[in-house]
Structure 1
Amino acid sequence: MRFLSSLLASILGTLIAIGLVFLFLFLFLMGLATAVEQPPAIRSGSVLVIRLSGPIPEVVSPDPLSRLLLEEPPYGLHDLTHALKKAAADRRIEAVWLRLQNPQLSWASLEEVRTALVDFRASGKLLIASCEDFGMDEATYFLASAADSVFAGPESFFEFNGFYLTAEFYKRLLDKLEVEAQVVRAGAFKSAGEPFVREHLSEENRLQLQALLDAYNRRFLETVAEARGLSVEDVNRLATEQLLLSAEEAVQAGLLDGLRDAGQIERMLKTHLGYGPDEKLRRVSLRQYARVPDREAGLPTGNEGEIAVVYAVGTIVPGKSQQEPVPVPFLGGRMLGSETLIAALEEARQSERVKAVVLRINSPGGSAAASEAMWQAIRRTAEEKPVIVSMGDVAASGGYWISTAADTIVADPLTITGSIGVIGMLLNAGGLFENKIGITYDLLRTSPYADMFSGLVPPEPYEVERLQQTIMATYRTFLQKVSQARGLPVDSVDAIGGGRVWIGETAHRIGLVDVLGGLDRAIAIAAEKAGLAPGTYRIRVLPRPRMFAERLAEQLEARAVQTWRNLTASPATRMLEAYRPALDRLRLLHGTPLARMWPEVSVR
């Protein structure tokens, strides 16, 4: 008995000791992260150094531990553009050095960042862009061309050869998995189902995607020509005839101002800013500068109210949002859950501090039912407060559906939008279960069509016909919403709908968008409609980004569940678990109306 008591006491003491160690470690990391996140001291004559590398998300967590331990990006897209706005007003910042290291941004985000760079340059301060030894492609150069001077490292690569678009098809993958897909659609251009039943683009899809690609190319040529003092024809000739592939060739063509490494650029900045020969360049990173308060930088601030920026990012699904991307082809990425967005909108609607709402949409759409639930919540909010939509890289299909509930739609000129159409899909995964996993089923029915949505048998012709009728009814609802919101006849909406995607500037011209601009433009419109003067309000980000402790708890719980399954599951069950992510996502597509655009448009 004494032995058991001693053993229990020993175990308890060990657990307490381990808990205390973790507690002290947590407190230490919290203190370290807080110290790192303190606003920096900015001295006169400083240079804001902006290193753009990899993806830049729409929004990031303000939690310092997330940034320290989870390698989360230190700033989001709006943090970047707002930092440039602060730097333009901050007398202590005399120049910006844009160091480009293969940033990965879609074209609407590139346009938004470039607009912020142009606005900074209009303040009269120096803007330098360089890529050093990382090289440049068209997307990188699109940003760099906003600068007073653009430099590349000696012998660096410079890709200037036009654009191409890739579209993925999954029919052969489904064939290997022995999954059959039957797709119905409303709209000749509604191509979201093509990857599952085709191996190449349809003529309608080829037409609309080529128009999209041509629009990007035209915008790029016009922008570069204006920035470098060249004609559009000359810039186009460089891309189509000369095939520039080195920085030295770009200098000779007038696209670059010289070949310089980082040390040479630093000496140039010191000379321009009047530094002494022995003085070090006073740098401040974007990560540091993002923490500088607006008032300290010279921007007016106030506390008369708040504008809620509600982020709607990802594929629209019922339920809660899933922030971590799902690594499944054609179905991966972030999930925008209707419950999560509705809760965020309700918080904004019920808060007395929030005077207006900006709904920032970056979504290709998804479930039509979930889109409608979101639409209803946006409409309830718009009945009490101004609601302005800001379209990011893509706000199409279901992403456009929910936009129609707002008072005003603001889109970037390069936003992908429209895709007013609906698809439906019936899947037969019987072969996958029987031949790949080893699970067979025997079905009993009370009526001939009871197993229509089982996903285990091929659909009958009448079942496909009935699904088509449902899809057309959903499409008519979509048309009515757009018609009422945009003040257009239903026939006119159908003519520009039909599932066709449009670029933002074209959508503005045909009446689908009210204003061209980025998130800052939408916030300014929201403030004006709410009667808030510039500099008198604050921004509230919704849904609230998750903190480190919340994300850690979720990951630990998921890891524990997965470990237990691996220990206790049979080989057949483990094989089924391997297919579960794909099966879960396929279930979202099966037998339900989808307001979803093409899974991904990749322009390079």
Structure 2
Amino acid sequence: MFTGLVIFFIFTLVSSSSTITTDQKSVLLLKLNGNITELDIDNPVPSLDNPLNPVVDGTGLMGILHNIEKAKNDPNIAGIVLHLQSIGAGFASLKELREALNDFKQSKKFVWAYGEYLSEGAYYLTSVANKIYLNPTGSLEFNGLSAQRTFYKGAFDKLDIKPEIFRVGTYKSAVEPYMTDKMSEASRRQTESYLNSIYDLYLKDIATSRKVSLARLTQASDSGLVQSPADALKYQLITKIGYYDELEAEVKQRLDLNENQKIKWVRLSKYREVETEWEKQQKKSNHRIAVIVADGEIRSGNGRDGIVGAAKIVKALRRARKSKSVKAIVLRVNSPGGSALASDIMWREIHLTRKVKPVIASMSDVAASGGYYIAMACDTIVAQPNTITGSIGIFSIYFNLAAFQKNKLGITNDYVNTGKFSALGDPSYPFTEADRQILQRSIERGYESFTSKAAKDRGMSLAELKSVASGRVWAGNEAKQNGLVDVLGSFNDALAIAAKKAKLSKKDYRLWFLPVEKPLIDKIKDNLGVSVKARQRMLKQELGELYPYLEILKKIKETPQVQARLPYDIVIK
């Protein structure tokens, strides 16, 4: 009864709300201090936030990019102010945002920024601004990138848990945390390669934006010379050391406002609800390019937040394929991979779809292993130079818990089997050498299947493909040099390629995002409960630094045995 009354009250509010508009000389305020996902995380009724289920509005990369372009074409928007600190996004996403803001500046409108603490990633985005304010007691991180790995072998040894590992590929190091206490030389070599590639691009982009020599920036970064706001000013990383009210005062001057007049700030969460004339024009075309977003780890089934469900993606592909109004498809991939089986199911459906209409892959921050598996099925692969991709290989891991149960818990197991291999894979049953041979052969067959399909899709010989496979991770520009990627570019570049293949002009199509979002009533019901993301946030808050270890245990429990996944969880900071 109570829920019904609340929903009735919500619908009354929604139906009675007036159309949101912007005034002249408005300034779009972008506070992007949370995690940036591929699509928006919507709170259907922002004014009635459920404290048990806090929802951050406007954090979807696709939505931010759209609204920056909308603001560029909105005569009421005079400029954009970035207010950043630490930002939860990969460097490919940040490059997409940089490019959108650079394009916005072509309209002769301003982009200014303010920061109190700017992380390496936040500064990468901030550096595109015409003017950058840094708080006098703030800080700016400019000391290079670090990729961290955590190893669990010592813990498993203490617990008497024995991992049984099967893999193909020198660089397929996802299993290393369970079998050693440090990086292998191959893993270290590949990490150094793509990390340096990403950071070289980082410095080059900043040098271009700030009009500072690359050599000067490299020296400042490598030698740790930026330790204070004064240092940041000295090396031309910022424009001015100042407080937020000083930036506001300068914005007023730019807008010809007097002291008593207020700046008409428009937050992204509100601006998303504004429908401009430019946006109305975008919706007029009957032709559509479907954008299918695969964001998260790959699993079978329908998936959930942060999980790419193969069944849901297959359904979206079929829907786009059968729709007469859809002329092309862009598959947006942001995934480290996951289930080899689920990846192959989607790969097959993409191949069926590209026989009917063009399918273009647009790689985001990560499109590796299973993420690469589904991208390679597309007509054309577009990646940013700092996208993390490749990792063509598979592995499987089983955990033998027999000693742990007996020695730590006092639990023993006994079996009656009908055949020699009946208990194969049971966590309490000891592996024999024959068991290991069966499982290793299975992984080798899976690797041959993956590499054979990749070679055919990329128009390479199997030997050529295997020379850049073996589980190795590449930065996007490295992948392009090795033939794993066709074009270095953005999501908009992928759209342009899709439109060209479908013989559509830029003004002759609109976007249709799939899978389609839930109906409003379902969103409201979800918001009244506690979502998966909300539970994760609460656990994170309670467990603090221990939270990543809980995630590892969950993965052990939920992970399918055969994996086409990135060699490890990459933490770049």
TM-score by length of 1: 0.86
Superposed CA deviations along residues 214-254 of structure 1, whole A, max 9, x for unmatched, are: 11221121112222222111111111224312112211222
Amino acid aligned to 2:145: F
Residues 1:42 and 2:25 are matched in the alignment: no
* 2:362 pairs with 1:362: no
Rounded to whole Å, the distance in 2 between the matches of 1:530 and 1:31 is 43
Q: Partner of 2:516: helix, strand, or coil?
A: coil
Give me the whole-angstrom Cα distance separating, in 2, the residues matched to 1:247 and 1:580: 38
Query: Out of 125, 130, 147, which is 2:114 matched to?
Result: 130
The amino acid that maps onto 1:601 is I
Report how far residue 503 of structure 1 moved.
Answer: 0.6
Q: What is aligned with 2:545?
A: none
Match of 2:10 in 1: 29
Residue of structure 2 in register with 1:200 after alignment: 182
Of 222, 229, 234 in structure 2, the residue corresponding to residue 240 of structure 1 is 222
1:506 aligns to 2:486 (yes or no): no
Q: Which residue does 1:108 correspond to in 2?
A: 92
**CA-CA distance at 1:295 after TM superposition:** 2.8
Residue matched to 1:327: none
SS of the residue 2:508 aligns to: coil
After superposition, the Cα gap between the structure-2 partners of 1:39 and 1:514, relative to the gap in structure 1 and judged at 3 Å, is farther
**Equivalent residue runs for 1:543-562 within 5 Å:** 543-546=515-518, 550=522
Offset at residue 178 of structure 1 (A): 3.5
Counterpart of 1:282 in structure 2: which amino acid? K
CA spacing shift, 1:435–1:303, aligned 2, 3 Å? farther
Segment drifting more, 159-168 vs 395-404: 159-168
Q: Which segment is superposed worse, 66-75 or 308-317?
A: 66-75
- Displacement of 1:103 in angstroms is 1.6
Which residue does the alignment assign to 1:72? 55
CA contact (8 A) 2:7 2:524 kept: no
8 Å contact from structure 1 (residues 190, 423) kept in 2: yes
Cα distance in 2, alignment partners of residues 233 and 558 from structure 1? 50
Which residue of 2 is the match for residue 486 of structure 1? Answer: 458
Three-state SS of the structure 2 residue aligned to 1:112 is helix
Instruction: Spell out the pairing of 1:143-158 with structure 2 (5 A cutoff).
Output: 143-158=125-140
Query: Which residue of 2 is the match for residue 574 of structure 1?
Result: none
Amino acid in the other structure paired with 2:556:
L
Q: Please name the residue that 1:121 is paired with.
A: 105
Structure 1 window deviating more from structure 2 (286-295 vs 109-118): it is: 286-295
Aligned-residue CA RMSD in angstroms? Answer: 2.5
Matches within 5 A, 1:169-184: 169-184=151-166
Deviation of residue 202 (structure 1)? 0.5
Show CA shifts across 1:392-429 (max 9, x none): 11110111111121111111111100001111223212
The residue type paired with residue 602 of structure 1 is V
Q: Deviations for 1:467-517, whole angstroms, at most 9, x for unmatched residues?
A: 222111111111111111111111010001111001111111221111122
Q: CA deviation at 1:466?
A: 2.1
**SS at 1:182 equivalent:** strand
Q: Which amino acid letter does the alignment assign opposite residue 54 of structure 2?
A: E
Aligned to 1:382: 354
Q: Deviations over 1:274-313 (max 9, x none)?
A: 2234322122111111222253568644222222211112
1:122 Cα deviation (Å)?
2.1
Counterpart amino acid of residue 600 in structure 1: D
Query: Offset of 1:582 from its aligned partner?
Result: 7.1
Cα-to-partner distance string for 1:411-452 (whole Å, 9 max, x where unaligned) = 111110000111122321224444556653211122222212
Residue in structure 1 matching 2:37, options 57, 74, 79:
57
Alpha-carbon spacing, 1:66–1:516, altered in 2? closer, same or farther (3 Å): farther
CA distance in 2, matches of 1:94, 1:548: 33
Distance 1:599 1:551, change over 3 A: farther
CA contact 2:43–2:55 (8 Å) conserved in 1:
no
Instruction: Show the 5 A alignment for 1:267-306.
Output: 267-296=249-278, 300-306=282-288
**1:415 counterpart letter in structure 2:** T
1:16 aligned residue: none
Map of 2:363 onto structure 1: 391
Q: C-alpha separation between the residues in 2 aligned to 1:161 and 1:118?
A: 25
* 2:503 pairs with one of 512, 516, 531: 531
Q: Residue type of the partner of 2:9?
A: F
Closer/same/farther in 2, CA of residues 389 and 66 from structure 1, 3 Å limit: farther
Q: 1:520 to 1:438 in 2, by over 3 A?
A: farther
Letter of the 2:207 counterpart = A
CA 411–34 in structure 1, closer or farther in 2 if over 3 Å, else same: farther
How far residue 555 of structure 1 moved from its aligned partner, in angstroms, is: 9.4
Which whole-Å CA distance do the structure 2 matches of 1:241 and 1:35 have between them? 59
CA contact (8 A) 1:33 1:64 kept: no
Q: Quote the residue 1:14 is aligned against.
A: none
Matched to 1:91, the amino acid is P
Amino acid at match of 2:35: P
Please tell me whether the aligned partners of residues 43 and 527 of structure 2 are also in contact (alpha carbons under 8 angstroms): no
Name the amino acid aligned to 1:586. I
**How far did 1:211 drift?**
1.0
Separation in 2, partners of 1:412, 1:338: 25
Alignment CA distance shift 1:417-1:456 (3 Å)? same
Pick which of 176-185 and 461-470 moved more: 176-185
Structure-2 change in CA distance of 1:368 and 1:156 (3 Å): same
Contact 1:301 1:536 in 2 (8 A): no
Contact in 1 for aligned 2:174/2:568 (Cα 8 Å): yes
Cα deviation, residue 80, structure 1: 0.7
Indicate the percent of aligned positions where both proteins have the same amino acid. Answer: 33
**Distance in 1 between the 2:159 and 2:64 partners?**
43
| 1:528, distance to aligned residue in structure 2 (A) | 2.2
Structure 1 contact 61–545 (Cα < 8 Å) conserved = no
Contact 1:310 1:344 in 2 (8 A): yes
In the alignment, structure 1 segments of 5+ residues that lack a partner are 1-18, 324-333, 560-578
One-letter code of the match for 2:294?
A
Is the alpha carbon distance of 1:435 and 1:548 closer, same or farther for their aligned partners in structure 2, counting shifts above 3 Å? farther
1:186-585 pair list within 5 angstroms: 186-296=168-278, 300-323=282-305, 334-434=306-406, 439-546=411-518, 550=522, 585=555
- Cα offsets for 1:113-145 (capped at 9, x unmatched): 1111111112221110111xx311221111111
| Alpha-carbon distance in structure 1 between the residues aligned to 2:90 and 2:413 | 45
Query: Cα 1:583–1:224, aligned 2, differ >3 Å: closer, same or farther?
Result: closer
Please give the residue correspondences for 1:2-21 in structure 2 after superposition, counting only pairs within 5 Å. Answer: 19=1, 21=2
Note if contact 1:89-1:298 (Cα within 8 Å) is conserved in structure 2: no
State the distance in 1 between where 2:11 and 2:409 align. Answer: 46
Distance 2:551 2:237 in 1: 47
CA contact (8 A) 1:60 1:72 kept: no
SS in 2 for 1:380: helix
Q: Secondary structure at the match of 1:245?
A: coil
Q: Counterpart in 2 of 1:326?
A: none
Greater CA drift, 540-549 or 53-62: 540-549
Change beyond 3 A, Cα 1:436–1:380? farther
- C-alpha spacing 1:29/1:558, structure 2 compared with 1 (3 Å): closer
Conserved in 1, the CA contact under 8 Å of 2:290 and 2:511? yes
**Contact map agreement 1:428 1:458 (CA 8 A) in 2:** yes
The answer to whether the Cα contact below 8 Å between 1:90 and 1:297 also exists between their aligned partners in 2 is no
Q: 1:556 to 1:73 in 2, by over 3 A?
A: closer
Q: Which residue of the partner structure matches residue 163 of structure 1?
A: 145
